């Protein structure tokens, strides 16, 4: 296990990855179906979109290795989507960022990086040992671990 990562550095780098991606960051309101364009700065905030991006990165890393990134999150009713990142204590910075880059690249459409599409990513990347029928292997949870 590596030393805890600096959340400020992680957040700034995630924001740069989203900005470099070039697609607008969008959140679709499930109740209305309306798309809301969001500033990339929300990705840098532990109480903003950082939990979602890191959960998606965790799914990528877990699918590839069977291990978790060591992301510590907690429920927070004041956070944008209900979760806050408290720390990252599992893998090196490079592994977290490469996993996030892969998650970003696999999500959205050519016209937008839709935050809601991380759900599809969680379903595409079955855990190691999962059958091709889409069923999860015994004892393995599917989806993000907040």
**What's the CA gap between 120 and 140, in Å, rounded?**
18
**Position 136 pLDDT exceeds 60:** no
pLDDT of residue 116: 87
DSSP state at residue 22? -
Per DSSP, the residues of 114-141 read EGGGHHHHHHHSPPTT--TTSPPPTT--
User: What are the beta bridge partners of residue 71?
Assistant: 88
CB-count burial class (<10 Å; 0-12, 13-18, 19+) for 143: middle
The more confidently predicted of residues 130 and 72 is 72
pLDDT of residue 10: 98
Q: Helix (H, G, I), strand (E, B), or coil: what is residue 87? A: strand
Split at pLDDT 50, 70, 90, the class of 143 is very low
Tens of pLDDT along 14-73?
999 999 999 999 999 989 999 999 999 999 999 999 999 999 999 999 999 999 999 999
The more confidently predicted of residues 62 and 143 is 62
pTM: 0.81
Query: What's the mean per-residue pLDDT of the chain?
Result: 85
**What's the CA gap between 22 and 3, in Å, rounded?**
32
H or E, element range at 74: strand 71-75
């Amino acid at each position: 296990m590596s030393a805890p990562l600096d959340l400020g550095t992680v957040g700034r780098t995630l924001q740069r990855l989203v900005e470099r991606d070039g697609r607008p960051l969008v959140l679709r309101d499930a109740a209305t179906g309306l798309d809301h364009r969001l500033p990339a700065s929300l990705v840098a905030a532990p109480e903003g979109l950082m939990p979602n991006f890191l959960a998606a990165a965790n799914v990528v890393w877990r699918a590839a290795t069977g291990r978790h990134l060591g992301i510590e999150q907690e429920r927070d009713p004041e956070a944008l989507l209900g979760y806050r990142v408290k720390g990252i204590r599992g893998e090196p910075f490079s592994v977290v960022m490469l996993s996030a880059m892969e998650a970003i690249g696999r999500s959205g459409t050519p016209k937008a990086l839709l935050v809601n599409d991380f759900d599809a990513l969680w379903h595409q990347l079955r855990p190691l040992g999962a059958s091709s029928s889409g069923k999860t292997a015994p004892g393995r949870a599917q989806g993000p671990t907040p």
